[in-house]
Every structure is written in structure tokens, then in C-alpha cells.
């Protein structure tokens, strides 16, 4: 019958998420908060879609999504939190935008694409129990994922929540710390063990105090029984103080492979003077250069918590491979390099695979790639225009042909990073714009040995690319020999105060600069710079347009 409402009942994994303190963030800076919310929602929506989920409702900062699998729902939530945690690093703590996420499996009713019922309500209540930047799941979800994901869980017990008649048994998912490790989780059993330990420690301490008091009262040579009691109490206290609390985890990890042996610990050797030891850099997934955000998340989820023996190899173009659970360290290194080489054979970039990490230590033989200062991309409608391979600055004809054949028709997100001598790196089809920008800058900087710049993003030039004059390199006012030494700081200051529009710098025979700033066209900036220079110098010529040094075509 026309107009009849169709209801469909089913079981689904429901994810509920919203931003902690969103109202405060909007009140403090509405425009900036809404811009960031849109960017963060792109990340959230992308991860949900890739995990096979479907967003069925949104309201302001809140998102409700369904998944056919609890495992995929939890894995998606972890990926979202890891990715957004990285983005939040660029902001002070009071301006960070973090989600709380709740997940349950429950009976729901589908009506015109929307979902209703206890499953949705419980997911929303679990989201309210989650930490800022954290994930809270129901017992039903925990039973589904505990043996399938390499993460830890903390039993929060049964919780009374609003508008749900029976208590909800909740578990907290342990999120990764800044050093790549996972936050310790404390279960009821752990608390009980810890309490017993403290009780034992207190009893021994009191015994030691009692014996010590007796010895103090009888400062003369004590009887043997008192000496023995004091010694025993002191030794017991020392043992308890030196013994760390046992690690507690409710996660289920696969057993070690047959024949695998834990690394042996050498016996400490006494030495009158210890030699200085330089600690190796500890592996952190967020700090790995060249690779995609998806690879970083996979490293955090799979590589970081894995036991020895393991290794990770990469090329400067981001082709990479990692292995875990190998029979030895040498086997891990060989396997990671071989897998990386096999993948690099099919890539268009560098095929040189190098070990980046062995175990939990970084062994990469090169320093971090040089990067320009933030922001890496500054959008300016006055200077942005459609990308044209024929107008690509500093690049030779064969490079332009490559860009015309591969970059121009390539799928978004895509970016081109350019070095000062015409070296360039580009990629197409990235999941996220920020990912494409970072990876190309890292790869270009590693090969050029100096910071590169993003000149094109998707289908537009995002820096002023001169056409009236020919770009010959990057412009650095502090070291440009054409500018009088006592005028270079003024050039730096004037250009920093004019971040938008077309900017040009001209100098005369004496090196006195003239400026054409905030122009609406390249010609306007050129004319302004020459006119300004001519008031204080002679034979003026334009030496810089935007970020480039220039000369006549």
C-alpha cells in the first residue's frame, strides 16, 4: 500500500561517536571548529566506509554507524582514534577535538534507512562512558573481539546508564600512548592482587618497624633471635619493594610459534666504571616517514604490540613491509627486506629497501627528511589556478611529460612536491589530502637533501607560479646576493606580513629592494616592485615572484 512504513528488525554492531566538549569549542571559535569538524568527519566517514560500515544518522558532531561485524567496528574505531590523535598534535590541549566512541551489538529496527531500538540507545550510553579519545564496548562486543584483535581491554563492570532498565556491562579499549605502547588496563582481578600486595607490604613494614623499635630500645648487642627477625623482615621488605606489580591484560594473544625462544638476557657484569651508553631511538608508528597513514595505523595496531622477533623495511617512496613472530632477529630482517623488495619491483619510485626498525628500535641509517615549516599548504584564491604540466616551474621537458601522462589524469587525492633544483615527487590516489602532502614532502626532502614545497594539490597550483618571468629556483631573501646585506631583514619582514596575493621583489644596482605586494595579478606585482625600486635605485629588475627567484623568459 502506498505510504506504508516498512520496518525491518535485525542484529547489528552499532558505533556511536561524538566530540568531547564540542559546545565549548564552538563557543570559543565557531568558524575554526566547524572547519576542523568537516575535515575530521572526512576521516571518520572514510574509515567507516572502508570497514564496510554505513552511517545511518548524524546530528551536529554526532555520528551513528552500523557494521555487519563487531570486529570491523572496533578496528574502525581504533583507526579513527589513532588518526585523529595524530592530527590533534598540531593544536594546544584546549583546542584539540577528540571523539568518544561507544560500540555494542544489539537488536535494532530499520525504518527508511534509519536505525532505532535498544542497540542504538546502548551504543550512545557506552559512548558517554568512554574516555576522551577512547572507546567503550559492551560485553557482547568484547566476547566477539577479545580473541581476534591484538589490543587490551579493561573490565569496567556493570554500569547503570540513563533510560536503560538493566545495567550495561562495559569494557574500555586500551589506546596507544605517545611512545607507541598501550596504556595499562586495570581489571578487578588486578585491583585485588594490588590490594593484597599492599597489605602484605604494610604487614612486613610494620613488622620491620616493630623489630627496629625493639633493637633501638636495646642498643646493646641484641639477642640472636632479634637479629634474625630484623634481618628477615628487612629482606622481605626489600623483595616486595623491588618486585613490580604483575602485568595485567584481558586480551588473548596467540601462542609463540614452535621453536621460538625468548631473547636471552646476559648476566650483568660488574665494572668499576660503567661506559656511557647511547640509547637507540624507540620505534613509534606516528614518526615513521614516507608511508601512508593507513600503514602507520597498521604498524601501531600489529607491529608495535608484537613480541620479538620482528622488523620493518621501507623505501623513501613509501613501499614497505613488516614481519613479526620470526625465529630470530636475522630471520626477521631478511624477511622484511625481501618482502619490501618484492613490492618495490612493481613501483615507479625508488626500489632501494632499507631496514627502518628491528624489534622496538629504529635502525634507519639516515636522518629524518627535512621538511618546510607549517603550514605546508596555504590556499589563496587570488593566486591558485588550474594545474598545467606545461607551466610546472623548474622542471625540464621530460619531467613535464611525466606529469602530463601520470599526474594530470590521476585520481585524487594527489600532490606534487618540488625541490629548489627541479627535483619533484608526486603521488595520486591517496586516501587523505594531508597524507599525500606529508608523504611527498618527506620523499622529496630525503632525495633533494633540503626542504621541498607543495606546488600542486589535486588539480590546482597552490603557490604563485610565474608565467611572465621564468622561475629559476627558490627565493631565500636572507642569503640572496642581489639584495644589499643591510636590506635582507626588511625583505623577510615585508614578505612575511603579506602572505596572500601576488608578491614581487625588485632590486637595482645598489641592491636596494622595491616591493609589489598583495597584487591581484602577476603583472600588477611586477609593476609595483619596479616602480617602488626606481624611487631609490637605478636599473631595477625583478628577482623574485612568490616563492621563486626569476629571470626574463
Four-residue CA torsion sign, 496, 497, 500, 502: negative
Bond prior to 413 in cis (omega within 30° of 0):
yes
Spatial contact of 551 and 469, defined as CB atoms under 8 Å apart: yes
**Residue listed under C-alpha cell 572507546:** 135
pLDDT recorded at residue 179 = 43
Q: At CA 11, angle to CA 9 and CA 17, rounded to 5?
A: 110
For residue 260, what pLDDT is reported? 33
Higher pLDDT, 179 or 78: 78
Whether domain 7-173 has CATH 3.30.70.1230: the reply is yes
Residue 355 has pLDDT above 90, yes or no: yes
Cα torsion 179, 182, 188, 190 to 10°: value is -60
- Which pLDDT value is given to residue 349? 61
10: nearest Cα among 112, 104, 115: 115
| Least confident span in 216-225, 428-437, 501-510 | 216-225
pLDDT at 425: 94
pLDDT tens column, 202-218: 454 444 444 343 333 33
pLDDT at 164 over 50: yes
CA-to-CA dists, residue 521 to 314, 501, 504, angstroms: 43, 8, 11
- Which pLDDT does position 350 carry in this prediction? 62
Instruction: Average the pLDDT over 268-274 and give the result.
Output: 36
pLDDT on residue 4: 58
Q: What is the pLDDT of residue 215?
A: 33
pLDDT digits (tens, 9 = 90+) for 290-305: 998 889 989 999 999 9
The b/e string for 517-545 (b: 16+ C-beta within 10 A; e otherwise) is: bbbeebeebbbbbbebbeeebeebbbbbb
Task: Indicate if the pLDDT at residue 191 is higher than 50.
Answer: no
Give the three cell numbers for residue 535: 624611487
Q: How many residues does the chain have?
A: 553
What does the pLDDT average to over 416-440?
91
pLDDT score at 91: 86
SS3 state of residue 519: strand
Per-residue pLDDT band for 243 (boundaries 50, 70, 90) equals very low
Q: Which pLDDT belongs to residue 268? A: 35
Q: How much is the pLDDT for 103?
A: 96
Q: What is the pLDDT of residue 5?
A: 59
Q: Any idea where the domains of the chain sit in the sequence?
A: 7-173, 188-242, 288-362, 385-461, 469-552
Q: What percent of the chain has pLDDT over 90?
A: 56
What pLDDT is recorded for position 212? 41
Q: What is the pLDDT of residue 249?
A: 31
Position 182 pLDDT exceeds 50 = no
Does the structure show a pLDDT above 60 at 493? Answer: yes
Among 106-120, 172-186, 273-287, the least confident range: 172-186
pLDDT at 194 over 70: no
- What rounded mean pLDDT belongs to the chain? 82
For residue 6, what pLDDT is reported? 63
Find the largest Cα–Cα distance for the chain.
104
For range 503-524, the mean pLDDT? 96
Q: Is the pLDDT of residue 405 over 70?
A: yes
Number of H helices, E strands in the chain: 13, 22
- At 348 the pLDDT is 65
Amino acid at each position: 500500500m502506498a505510504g506504508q512504513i516498512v520496518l525491518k528488525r535485525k542484529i547489528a554492531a552499532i558505533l556511536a561517536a561524538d566530540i568531547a566538549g564540542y559546545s565549548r569549542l564552538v563557543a570559543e571559535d565557531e568558524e575554526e571548529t566547524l572547519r576542523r569538524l568537516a575535515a575530521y568527519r572526512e576521516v571518520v566517514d572514510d574509515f567507516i566506509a572502508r570497514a564496510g560500515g554505513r552511517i545511518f544518522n548524524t546530528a551536529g558532531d554526532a555520528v551513528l554507524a552500523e557494521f555487519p561485524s563487531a570486529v570491523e567496528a572496533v578496528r574502525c574505531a581504533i583507526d579513527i582514534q589513532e588518526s585523529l590523535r595524530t592530527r590533534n598534535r598540531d593544536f594546544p590541549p584546549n583546542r584539540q577535538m577528540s571523539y568518544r566512541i561507544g560500540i555494542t551489538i544489539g537488536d535494532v529496527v530499520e525504518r527508511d534507512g534509519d536505525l532505532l531500538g535498544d542497540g542504538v540507545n546502548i551504543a550512545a550510553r557506552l559512548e558517554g562512558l568512554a574516555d576522551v579519545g577512547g572507546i567503550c564496548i559492551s560485553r557482547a562486543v568484547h566476547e566477539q573481539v577479545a580473541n581476534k584483535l591484538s589490543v587490551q581491554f579493561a573490565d569496567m563492570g556493570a554500569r547503570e546508564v540513563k533510560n536503560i532498565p538493566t545495567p550495561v556491562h562495559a569494557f574500555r579499549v586500551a589506546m596507544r600512548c605517545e611512545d607507541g605502547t598501550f596504556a595499562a588496563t586495570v581489571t578487578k582481578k588486578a585491583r585485588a592482587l594490588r590490594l593484597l600486595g599492599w597489605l602484605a607490604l604494610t604487614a612486613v613494614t610494620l613488622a620491620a618497624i616493630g623489630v627496629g623499635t625493639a633493637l633501638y630500645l636495646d642498643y646493646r648487642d641484641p639477642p640472636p633471635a632479634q637479629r634474625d627477625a630484623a634481618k628477615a623482615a628487612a629482606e622481605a621488605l626489600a623483595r616486595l619493594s623491588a618486585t613490580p606489580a604483575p602485568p595485567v591484560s584481558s586480551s588473548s594473544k596467540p601462542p609463540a610459534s614452535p621453536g621460538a625462544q625468548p631473547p636471552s638476557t646476559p648476566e650483568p657484569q660488574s665494572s668499576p666504571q660503567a661506559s656511557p651508553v647511547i640509547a637507540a631511538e624507540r620505534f613509534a608508528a606516528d614518526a615513521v616517514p614516507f608511508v601512508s597513514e593507513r600503514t602507520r595505523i597498521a604498524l601501531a595496531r600489529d607491529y608495535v604490540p608484537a613480541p620479538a622477533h620482528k622488523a620493518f623495511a621501507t623505501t623513501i617512496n613509501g613501499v614497505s613491509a613488516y614481519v613479526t613472530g620470526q625465529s630470530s632477529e636475522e630471520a626477521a630482517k631478511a624477511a622484511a627486506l625481501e618482502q619490501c623488495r618484492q613490492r618495490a619491483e612493481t613501483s615507479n619510485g625508488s626500489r632501494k629497501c632499507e631496514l627502518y626498525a628491528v624489534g622496538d628500535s629504529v635502525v634507519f641509517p639516515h636522518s629524518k627528511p627535512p621538511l618546510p615549516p607549517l603550514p605546508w599548504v596555504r590556499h589563496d584564491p587570488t593566486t591558485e589556478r588550474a594545474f598545467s604540466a606545461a607551466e610546472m616551474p623548474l622542471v625540464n621537458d621530460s619531467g613535464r611529460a611525466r606529469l602530463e601522462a601520470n599526474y594530470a589524469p590521476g585520481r585524487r587525492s594527489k600532490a606534487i612536491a618540488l625541490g629548489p633544483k627541479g627535483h619533484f615527487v608526486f603521488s595520486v590516489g591517496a586516501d587523505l589530502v594531508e597524507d599525500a602532502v606529508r608523504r611527498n614532502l618527506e620523499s622529496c626532502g630525503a632525495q633533494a637533501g633540503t626542504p621541498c614545497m607543495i606546488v600542486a594539490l589535486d588539480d590546482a597550483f597552490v603557490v604563485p607560479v610565474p608565467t611572465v618571468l621564468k622561475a629559476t629556483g627558490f627565493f631565500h631573501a636572507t642569503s640572496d646576493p642581489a639584495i644589499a646585506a643591510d636590506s635582507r631583514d626588511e625583505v623577510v619582514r615585508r614578505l612575511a606580513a603579506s602572505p596572500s596575493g601576488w608578491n614581487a621583489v625588485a632590486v637595482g644596482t645598489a641592491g636596494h629592494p622595491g616591493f609589489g605586494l598583495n597584487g591581484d595579478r602577476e603583472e600588477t606585482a611586477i609593476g609595483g616592485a619596479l616602480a617602488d625600486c626606481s624611487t631609490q635605485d637605478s636599473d631595477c629588475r625583478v628577482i623574485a615572484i612568490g616563492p621563486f627567484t626569476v629571470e626574463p623568459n
